[in-house]
Chains A and B, each alone.
Chain A
Amino acid sequence: MTDSLRTVTSQPVLLRRPGRILGWALLILLLAITLTPFVWAIRTALISNAEVFNGDYSLIPRNLTLINFKRVLGLVSAEESLAAGGSGAKMYFWLYLRNSLIFTALLVAGQVTTSTMAAYAFSRLRFPGRDLLFGLLLTGMMIPPIFIVLPNFVLIKNAGLLNTFPGMLAPYVLVSPFAIFFLRQFMLSLPREVEEAAMLDGASSWTTFHRVIVPMAATPITTVAIIQAVFAWNEYLWPQLIGQDHGVRLLNVALAVFQQSSPSTRPDWTGLMAAATLQTLPMLIVLLLLGRKLVSSISLTSAK
């Protein structure tokens, strides 16, 4: 696995010059197609709603304003918000950001812990029913979430956990078949000698696990954490079923609610784009900080 990571940084198989110019042109075009909608969203978030409708499509408009961000952050009165073309609905951005961060952090922490432990048992220990249990777990990867969302919703509702973090986290936090599968693949490739050496030193299974196996598996564990964090941050169906209350509402759900409260005849485009921009910024920050790690993580899941 580390080998495949290393080859990712090998030299490109370069084309001859004319091909290379054409290639760069294509690549730049693709980057433009990829990024333009976000640039356009940011640009629109910075103008007034009236200007959206006046036919000005210049990339850098003349009259810039922060009113839309202020509206989304709940810094202006309902009247001012209505005057700026909004529905008067507030976003409580910071609260929802906090909720999304809590949801993502707990989900990832839970899944990484339980999956690392399970992967260790499946790859390094022998016990009756191992292959059967693992096979069963694998089928979990194929089940469409909606199939279990219906009964799980009933379960959480009956348990009185609607609009709580435990209710929102419950189906995810204990188990991730993907994470177990992925980490097991890696741990199978570790040499048996590492455990034998630890055993000779008198280490218990627990010591071997957290002092030897976990450090050796740091890279794939990080990969799983990153991939699951992106997944948690994107999750919409379940959080919007379970967490409608302000206190637990996630950013994703909040944006959808905000969009639905926007009048359909003359949508509050600038408010929506300000909200969407604020939604995108945390991911851009993550990308700036973790770009290389993120890219190699995804490559790793493919090269397994």
Chain B
Amino acid sequence: MTDLVPTDTQAAPTPRLTRHGALRRRQALTAYAYLAPALIGFLVFYLVPMVRGLQISLTDWDLITQPHFVGLDNYRRLLGDENFLHSLVITATYVLVNITTQTAAGLGIALLMQRISHSTLVRSLLLVPWLVPNVTIAVITLFVLDPNVGLLNHLLGALGLGPIAFYGNPDLAIITVALVNSWRNMGYTALLIFAGMQTVPHMVYEAAELDGCSTARTFRSITLPLIRPVLVMVVVVSMIGSFQIFDTVAVATKGGPVGSTRVIYFYIYEKAFQQGQMGYAAAMSVVLLAIILIMTLIQLRASRAAESDLG
């Protein structure tokens, strides 16, 4: 990394140490001036809030009266809160279903893009759902998936499959939310994977062709291993994102039916802003942060492994 960073261009031709030092100081001051707005923003809206978040998690606070210190009580309470443990299970289900289907669909579409058409039009059209806000997607899918008047149920009815209350069935609701978001993001994921595929030199495929490799063989032995770093990157980014599923739930299901879509993000939101339990909500967000950090570390390791595989 360091060898990529340009060395001090001003200091290099200056022989005398004192001038060297002065120039360095000046360049440092210049650098801080460039950094100032971003660093102030980072300090005020990221760093201080992080410390404040930890602090609030140790209090009992309804946002109106004075917060009072309760130590680790909120965390102790979490361990016995079935709704909290349930929200973790729901979130994990969501993440698992969402990541698998989204990555698989994205990979499939990327392959089609690579082998059938590079058309920008096709790529743009597949990107439409990703450009449309989650709130809009939630409203549109509420209608399309409605058990009484929804288009999908009408089509299923034509196949002799009974109406399914996708968002309304407690056993199905979270999977529905996951699949809706996979549908929304698959074009975007495909585009990222496709871009990764483009870094594989064309010659490799030509060589495979000359050797008489089948399509499946080419995919398994060439494409897949060579795009592994991109795949890992896509999974890492979308996994961190999918832990933060909120909008669709907030609009389409409001955590229901019977709490079956009360993902952790939504539960934190409910506690903080609807039930006024700031301290408790903050404690949950600390746990969520810890989970995401652990996931990130595991995945960073995985991605490093993927890179070193390629030598």
Contact = CB atoms under 8 A, between A and B. Distances in A.
Interface of A: 4, 7-15, 19-20, 23-24, 26-27, 30-31, 33-38, 40-41, 44, 52-53, 57, 113-115, 117-118, 120-128, 130, 133, 136-137, 140, 142-148, 150-155, 157, 170-171, 173-175, 177, 180, 188-189, 192, 195-196, 199, 205, 209, 230, 233-234, 236-237, 241, 251-253, 255-256, 259, 267, 269, 272-273, 275-276, 279-280, 283-284, 286-287, 291-292, 294-295, 298-303
Interface string B118-130: 1011111111111
A119 B7 CA distance: 16
A137 B42 CA distance: 8
**At the interface, is chain B mostly helix, strand, loop or mixed?**
helix
Given A27-B122, A34-B125, A41-B140, A175 B38 contact: yes
B188 A298 contact: yes
Contacts of A301: 192
Residue of B24, B136, B144, B293 with most chain A CB atoms under a 10 A cut-off: B136
A174 B112 CA distance: 40
B306 to A, nearest CB: 15
A125 B39 contact: no
Which of A118, A130, A133, A300: most chain B CB closer than 10 A? A118
Interface in B35-50: 35, 37-42, 44-50
Contacts of B141: 37
A147 B50 contact: yes
A125 B140 contact: no
B131 A230 contact: yes
B169 interface: no
Most B-side CB within 10 Å, residue of A10, A150, A253, A269: A150
Interface in B131-164: 131-136, 139-144, 146, 148-149, 151, 154
A57 B154 contact: yes
Contact of B31 (A125, A145, A173, A253): A125
Contact of A117 (B38, B44, B186, B199): B38
Contact of A175 (B45, B188, B278): B45
A118 B52 contact: no
Interface of B: 4-10, 24, 27-28, 30-32, 34-35, 37-42, 44-50, 52-53, 56, 63, 109, 112-118, 120-136, 139-144, 146, 148-149, 151, 154, 183, 186-188, 191-196, 198-199, 202, 205, 215, 230, 233-234, 240, 243-244, 246-247, 250-251, 265, 268-269, 272-273, 278, 281-282, 285-286, 288-289, 292-293, 296
B183 A33 contact: yes
Contacts of A10: 118, 198, 202
Given A146-B285, A259-B251, A303-B199, A291 B121 contact: yes
A302 B120 contact: no
- Of B7, B30, B38, B63, which is in contact with the most chain A CB atoms at under 10 Å from its CB? B38
A23 B115 contact: yes
Contacts of A121: 30-32, 34-35
Nearest to B196: A302
Contact of B134 (A118, A143, A234): A234
A148 B45 contact: yes
B193 to A, nearest CB: 8
Pairs of residues from A and B, 5 with the lowest C-beta to C-beta distance, nearest first: A174-B41, A175-B41, A299-B195, A151-B52, A151-B49
